[in-house]
Homo-oligomer: A and B are copies of this chain.
Amino acid sequence: MHAMPMWRQMDPCAAGWRAMTGRGGHGHHHRSGRGGGPWGGGPPFGFPGGPFGRRQRMRRGDVRAALLVLLAEEPRNGYGLMQEIEQRSNGVWRPSPGSVYPALSQLEDEGLVRSEEGEGRKLFHLTDAGRAHVDEHREKLGEPWAAVSGAVDESAFELRDLMWQTGAAAMQVLQAGNEAQVARAREILTETRRSLYRILAEEE
């Protein structure tokens, strides 16, 4: 097994984003070598459940409602349903496979939905009974994704965008910068973090 020359070094962007994804804290945990809980190195405010908190759940029935309403438009597979909901909610809500597939199964058991296997995917259709059900309850079913998307403050989306762009900028420095420039980026981020916490520490 040949050694890997420096120009073959792993893209540090991947390393960074991997740690910041939903697997969050994974790499962090291992680097700190601490046991005692998954968020040993987390923020000082004891963020409940970890740095990103525990998201609030949709209400009971929201997943079912969303599936029924979308299937009333056209047949779709499970993955496509998840994607469509995410899109219509502006990225705020993507129902998990753990909720979508059992819900589809249940709707099938109830005779509201039927499935068709083909081409490595499973297409779900409303049955006649399902269509009647949707027609009868159309107003009550509504559009769960709309409610959840509208509930997110505009500033949250903006801050999200900014975090995105800031992360990208840091990655750029890491990729294209020399040692001194990376060190400088480190200082900037350290100061940023401090400033952010200082906001909450200050009386308004």
Contacts and interface: CB of A to CB of B under 8 A. Distances in A.
B172 A156 contact: no
A137 to B, nearest CB: 9
Given A13-B52, A163-B170, A167-B20, A1 B147 contact: yes
Interface in A91-114: 91-94
A192 B188 contact: yes
A10 B93 contact: yes
Copies in the complex: 2
Nearest to A156: B12
Given A47-B171, A170-B196, 20 more contacts: A1-B141, A1-B144, A9-B151, A15-B160, A16-B160, A20-B160, A27-B90, A30-B91, A43-B168, A51-B165, A52-B168, A156-B174, A159-B185, A162-B186, A166-B166, A166-B192, A172-B196, A177-B199, A177-B200, A181-B204
